[in-house]
Amino acid sequence: MNVHNLMEDIVIKSVNKIYDTIKESGAAWLSCDCENCRLDTVSYVLNRIPPKYVISGRGVTYAADTIYSQQMAADIDSLALEGIRIVSNTKRPFHTHDRKECTVEGDSKPAFNFSTFMGSILDGTTFEPVTGATLLLKLDGKQVEMADKTWSNPYTTVKSTKGKYSFWVKSISADKAGISKTFHFSLEVKAPNYEPFVYHFEIPLISEPGTRNELDSTYSLKLKDLVLFK
């Protein structure tokens, strides 16, 4: 069985279109538009919108038509532009320093690699998504560094992503591969007119031989939906 996220095609199209428009306009802030940067932007957008899965080859055209609205197109375009700006201003771990080639830099130091954490913030009475909620992720009581600048911590939920949030914690170096360790996280949630809330969770990990710099979207951890009360 082949499962496919329909949003991928839509987002790739949007990101390429906007990169091309910016390039044509000669914007000075656009530092690079290579395939890696474009893919970074695609990941940035896909991580911030709900996926829409279909089984490949079955009714794909039909499904793409039904889910696509003008509002969604506008949301995706604005997220794409935001992503391009951030990617363009960031030295990604796999970029060379001058960003000319954007080649993937291998890193062979042992590390604890985290999957992405995802979840939703909902109103405890209506179960509607809460927008404008600010989430601060901490590890052992300290603000956690994200894998790169396309991820923010604290993160604020926005309307287009329906109260969804996601984090990708930067890898933590280890003495060697094969070490087991449990990481204690807390997620502080605040939203206007709601009671603040702290959610604690633990992630047991085994260190790997190298740092993982590329995002594998099949490997993400769904945290439980968090509800806020007024």
- Pick the binder of Zn ion from 34, 60, 104, 118 (CB under 5 A): 34
- Pick the binder of Zn ion from 6, 12, 30, 32 (CB under 5 A): 32
Q: How close are the terminal C-alpha atoms of the chain, in Å?
A: 44
Segment 153 to 192, residues that bind Zn ion, using CB under 5 A:
none
Applying CB under 5 A, what is the total number of residues that bind Zn ion? 5
37 belongs to the binding site for Zn ion (CB under 5 A): yes
Segment near Zn ion (CB under 5 A); pick from 2-10, 11-19, 100-108, 171-179: 100-108
Closest CB to Zn ion among 31 and 78? Answer: 31
Closest CB to Zn ion among 32 and 172? Answer: 32
CB of 216 to Zn ion, least distance (A): 20
63 belongs to the binding site for Zn ion (CB under 5 A): no
12-17: list long-range contacts, CB under 8 Å, 24+ apart: 12/42, 14/45, 14/73, 14/76, 14/77, 14/80, 15/41, 15/42, 15/45, 15/80, 15/83, 15/84
Burial of 148 (0-12, 13-18, 19+ CB in 10 A): buried
CB of 16 to Zn ion, least distance (A): 14
Instruction: Output the six-digit token pair for 3.
Output: 């499962």
| DSSP three-state, residue 67 | helix
Q: Which residues bind Zn ion (CB under 5 A)?
A: 32, 34, 36-37, 102
